[in-house]
Amino acid sequence: MKLYSERWNFSSIIRITVFGWLIIVTMFASACRRTPAGDSEAGRIAEAKKFITTLDLRALVDKLADNNAAAQPQMDKDAFRAFVQREVRWSSLEETILGALVKNFTAAEIRTLAEFQNSLAGKTFIEKYPAYLAEVGPPIQAEIRRALTAGEFARTRLQWDSPVQDLKTGPADEAVTADFAFRNLGAQAVRFLAIETSCGCTTAKPEKTVYQPGERGTIRAILKKGDLVGLREERVFVTTDEPGNPSVTLQFRVTISAPLKITPRLLVWGSGEKAATKTITLEIPAGQAIDILGVESVPDAFTAKTILDKGSQIFLVHIVPRTTVRPMAGKFFVLAAAGAGKVIKIPVFLRILPPTTPPRGDSGLPWSDVLWIDAQSAAGYGQSHLPGALPLTEEAWDVQFESILARWTPGQRIVVYCQPPDQAIQIIQRLKAYGLENLYVITPGY
């Protein structure tokens, strides 16, 4: 069973029915209209209240509900009638009718309406009018909407070809590009006032700022891949001076495949523990035309041994610290050739922890027990951030993540915040991929 859900629309239809009926009844009754010797607001109100008592408004609404239900075969007519009778605000509707009568008719004219309503012709008219309105009302409304959208009063002037896009990317691509084409269908020029993106790793701009009627244009959004992997859903928030529709959200989705599967991406040693060898596994995903070249930029405090098996899709890198006495954070890069002379550099992070301190318990979230991460843009971080919070964004991940690791200890709670929270959630996902735990995100209202 499907009930009519647009209550405001049905209420409008009821008002059109009643007021249209009053107008047409007045036309029918004009021949017998009596000109009063005098007229007053009190007299109008008195006659209008009498008229309301004789008007079977519920029967009129029932008839209108039946006609609307008949136009939709799948609708349960009895259930719809009950729904309408329950949801219509009768006292408000009667008050509106009474006010309209007093405002637009004299006391004598209201009496004439009542006389016509009680006549045989009036009763026949009232019986047939809802069906008549159900036939002519929708075409009239549709024609008005068409005229509005075709003329100067159109709410939407910019027509977007593909405001939502699904894109593909290859392992050698440094960026993902989404072109959002549009056309100004309005009668006046449209000016772009602002363009923002949901992530600092994405930039977007139009070819120019003002577009004349009939002119076409494109907003190009570019997502810098870096070492991003997985499904990315980026949004572009466009603000124009377009009347009635100044804000538009564009969206593109892309799944970025990892050129290499690197496990793990973070190696950790405790302070003073044995300088044991730890191994990173490199695996070329099926279907990827990748050739592993080796590693580079290994910190002096570590040694690396690479085992490359050209006959296999799996490679090993053995890493061992020279000493674990001194805490440190660092990284090195795995190098891979992706064809056409393109070399991909994927970071792997290293951490030698400082000496441990006794735990403080788990009562609340004291500031000293939490690593606070601010995921907003560099400009936003510069304007305001929580005391002691470190910045971490997609576009500056490699450098900023090293600073995070220099402060992080295993088991420590990590709280990421940003407004809006989209980027904070993405940062959380990347931290999980590196094996970090006890992750929290603060949503709007922090």
- Got the DSSP string for 427-441? HHHHHHHTT--SEEE
Report pLDDT for 6: 39
Of residues 180 and 132, which shows the higher confidence score?
Answer: 180
pLDDT band at 4 (very low <50, low <70, confident <90, very high): very low
Q: Please check the confidence at residue 289 and state whether its pLDDT lies above 70.
A: yes
29: in domain: yes
To the nearest whole number, what is the mean pLDDT of the chain? 79
* Number of domains forming the structure of the chain: 4
- Picking from 60, 129, 67, 58, the residue whose alpha carbon sits closest to that of residue 91 is 58
Say if residue 274 is in the same domain as residue 334: yes
Pick the more confident residue, 116 or 334.
334
| Last residue within a domain, chosen from 101, 125, 150 | 150
Residue 360 lies in a domain: no
Q: Which residue is listed with tokens 């006659």? A: 47
pLDDT the model gives residue 5: 38
Alpha helices in 75-151 (DSSP H): 77-87, 90-104, 107-118, 120-150
CB 190 within 8 A of CB 201: no
Task: Judge contact between 271 and 300, C-beta under 8 A.
Answer: no
Across 142-171, average pLDDT: 74
SS3 state of residue 421: coil
**SS percent in the chain: helix, strand, coil, step 5:** 35, 30, 35
Model pTM score = 0.52
Angle between helices 90-104 and 41-54 (to 10 degrees): 140
CA angle, corner 326, sides to 323 and 328, nearest 5? 100
For residue 404, the enclosing domain spans 367-442
Residue 239 predicted with pLDDT over 90: yes
Highest mean pLDDT among 122-126, 321-325, 442-446: 321-325
Grouping H, G, I as helix, E, B as strand and the rest as coil, residue 203 is strand
Same domain, 268 and 305: yes
Instruction: Tell me the CATH number at 410.
Output: 3.40.250.10
CA atoms within 13 A on the CB side of 404: 30
Residues 335 and 420 in one domain: no
Task: With beta carbons less than 8 A apart as the criterion, state whether 313 and 367 touch.
Answer: no
Structural domain includes residue 74: yes
> Cα separation of 256 and 430, whole Å?
13
User: How large is the average pLDDT for residues 311-331?
Assistant: 87
Q: Is the pLDDT of residue 302 over 90?
A: yes
118 and 177 belong to one structural domain:
no
More confident residue, 71 or 82: 82
Looking at residue 187, the DSSP 8-state letter turns out to be S
Choosing from 101, 130, 150, the residue where a domain stops is: 150
Residue where a domain terminates, one of 215, 241, 256:
256
Query: Distance between CA 249 and CA 237 in Å, rounded?
Result: 5
pLDDT (0 to 100) of residue 368: 55
Shared-domain flag, residues 192 and 268: no
Contact in structure between 187 and 169 (CB atoms under 8 Å): no
Q: State mean pLDDT over 91-113.
A: 84
What is the tens place of the pLDDT at every residue in 47-65? 888 888 877 777 777 777 7
Q: Kindly report whether the peptide bond that precedes residue 163 is cis, defined as omega within 30 degrees of 0.
A: no
Where is average pLDDT lowest: 9-23, 108-122, 194-208, 292-306?
A: 9-23
Q: Is the pLDDT of residue 176 over 60?
A: yes
Whether residue 90 is contained in a domain is answered as yes
Question: Residue 42: which residues within 8 A CB-CB, separation 6 or more?
Answer: none
| Residue 230 CA from chain centroid, whole number | 20
Structure tokens at 298: 């290994």
* Mean pLDDT to the nearest integer, 406-428: 83
Residues 196 and 178 in one domain: yes
In a domain, 1, yes or no: no
Q: Do 34 and 162 fall into the same domain? A: no
Sheet with 175-184: strands ordered across: 158-160, 175-184, 216-224, 202-206
Judgement on whether residues 276 and 184 belong to the same structural domain of the protein: no
Task: Verify that 135 and 52 share a domain, yes or no.
Answer: yes
- Note whether 132 and 14 are same-domain residues: yes
